[in-house]
Amino acid sequence: MDEKKRILSGIQPSGALTLGNYVGALRNWVELQKSDEYDCYFMLADMHTITVRQLAKDFRKNAIDLLALFLACGLDPEKSPIFFQSHVPAHAQLGWVLTCNTYMGEISRMSQLKDKSQKHEGNIYAGLFTYPSLMAADILLYQADLVPVGADQNQHLELTRDLANRFNNAYSETFKVPEGYIPKIGARVMSLQDPTQKMSKSDPNENSYILMLDSPDAVVRKIKRAVTDSGSEVKRGEGKEGVENLMSIYCAVSGKTMEETEAEFLGKGYGDFKTAVAEAVVETLKPIQARYNELMANKDYLEQVYRNGAEVASRTAMKTLSKVYRKVGFIQP
C-alpha cells in the first residue's frame, strides 16, 4: 500500500507568473516533488480564473504559458499529474456540495474577496464569493495532507479544514483534514514599489513586480527602482521593509540566510546590494526561460502532459466524489 503523503496545489492562469508565485509556491512544489516523499497533484486552477471576466483568447494563452512554466521550473509530469481543473469535472461537482455546506457568514469574511471586489468594483460575480468552497473541493478531492501555498492563502486553507471537519462530523469520516505548507522565506514577497502590499501580477504598476519571463534588462531596471529607505545599511529593521523584501528575494533565490546576507553586505551600500540581487534573480530565471522557450515550441508535448494529467487526476478525484455523493444521499445513477 502507498504510504506516501499526498500533496495538492494550484495556481490560476490569470496572467504572467511573478517571482512571488515562484518563491511562494511553485519552487516549493518542485522541491517537494523531487524529495520523492510525496504523492503530488499539480493543478492549473482555470475555473478559479473565470471568477473575473477573461478574454477567451488571452485566457487560452495564459493557460498554456503557465503549463509550460510549471514544466520549465522543473515539475516532472512523469512523476505527478499536471492538469487543468476544468478537465476534471469532479471539482465543480464537489465544489457545489461544499458550497451547500458553507455558511454565508464564514465565506463573507475572506479577505481575498474584499481585495478582489475592490479591484473589480462594479463587476463582481457570485463566483468570486463562492470561490473558497471550490478551492476546498480542489484539495479535499485528492485527500491531500499538505498544500504548499503562499501566506495569502492561509485563510482559504482554514476554511478548507473547517469544511472537511464539518462534513466528516455530519456524514462520517470522508475527508483528510489538510495542513498548509508555507515557506519560511518568500511566503509573502512584497511589491517593489510599496513593501506594505503583496507583489501581485494584477498590480497596474509594472515596476512593482518581477515576472518569470522578464528580460534581464527589465529585472535590473525594476530592482534598481525598488523602494528602499533613506539609510544605507543592508539589514532588517523598523522602517526598512523595502530592503528586507529585497533581502528575502535574494535569500530565496540564492539559498543564503538573512544573517549571511547582512554579513555579506556589511559596509556596502544599496547600489552594490541591488546589483547582487538583480544578478541572482537573472541567474535563477535564465535556465527557466530557456526551457520555457523550448517547451512552447512543442505544443504536442504540452497537450500530452495535460491530457494524461487529467486522466490520472480524474481517477483519484472520482473515488472521493462517489463517496460524497453516496453519503449525502444522492440516488446512484
Question: Among all residues, which ones are annotated catalytic?
Answer: 116, 198, 201
Binding of ligand ATP at residue 145 (CB under 6 A)? no
When the beta carbons of 153 and 193 are compared against ligand LTN, the nearer one is 153
Binding of ligand ATP at residue 195 (CB under 6 A)? no
Chain positions 9 to 68 lying near ligand LTN, rule: CB under 6 A, are: 9-12, 45, 48
Q: Which three cell numbers stand for residue 282?
A: 537573472
Q: State in angstroms the smallest separation of the CB of 138 from ligand LTN.
A: 4
Binding of ligand LTN at residue 149 (CB under 6 A)? yes
Given the DSSP bridges, would you call strands 38-44 and 82-84 parallel, antiparallel or unpaired? parallel
Nearest CA to 317 out of 167, 144, 147 is that of: 144
**DSSP-assigned beta bridge partners for residue 163:** none
Binding of ligand ATP at residue 189 (CB under 6 A)? yes
In angstroms, rounded to a whole number, what is the distance separating the alpha carbons of residues 148 and 250? 21
In angstroms, rounded to a whole number, what is the distance separating the alpha carbons of residues 283 and 274? 14
Binding of ligand ATP at residue 7 (CB under 6 A)? no
When the beta carbons of 135 and 324 are compared against ligand LTN, the nearer one is 135
Binding of ligand ATP at residue 135 (CB under 6 A)? no
Binding of ligand ATP at residue 47 (CB under 6 A)? no
Q: Binder to ligand ATP among 198, 222, 240, 274 (CB under 6 A)?
A: 198
* CB contact set of 101 (below 8 Å; sequence gap of 6+): 133, 163, 166, 167, 170
Half-sphere exposure of residue 99: CA atoms within 13 angstroms, side-chain side: 14
Partner whose binding site includes residue 6, from ligand ATP, ligand LTN, none (CB under 5 to 8 Å by kind): none
How far is CA 122 from each of CA 52, 164, 231, rounded to the nearest angstrom?
12, 33, 42
Where does this chain bind ligand ATP (CB under 6 A)? 11-12, 14, 20-21, 24-25, 149-150, 152-153, 187-189, 198-202
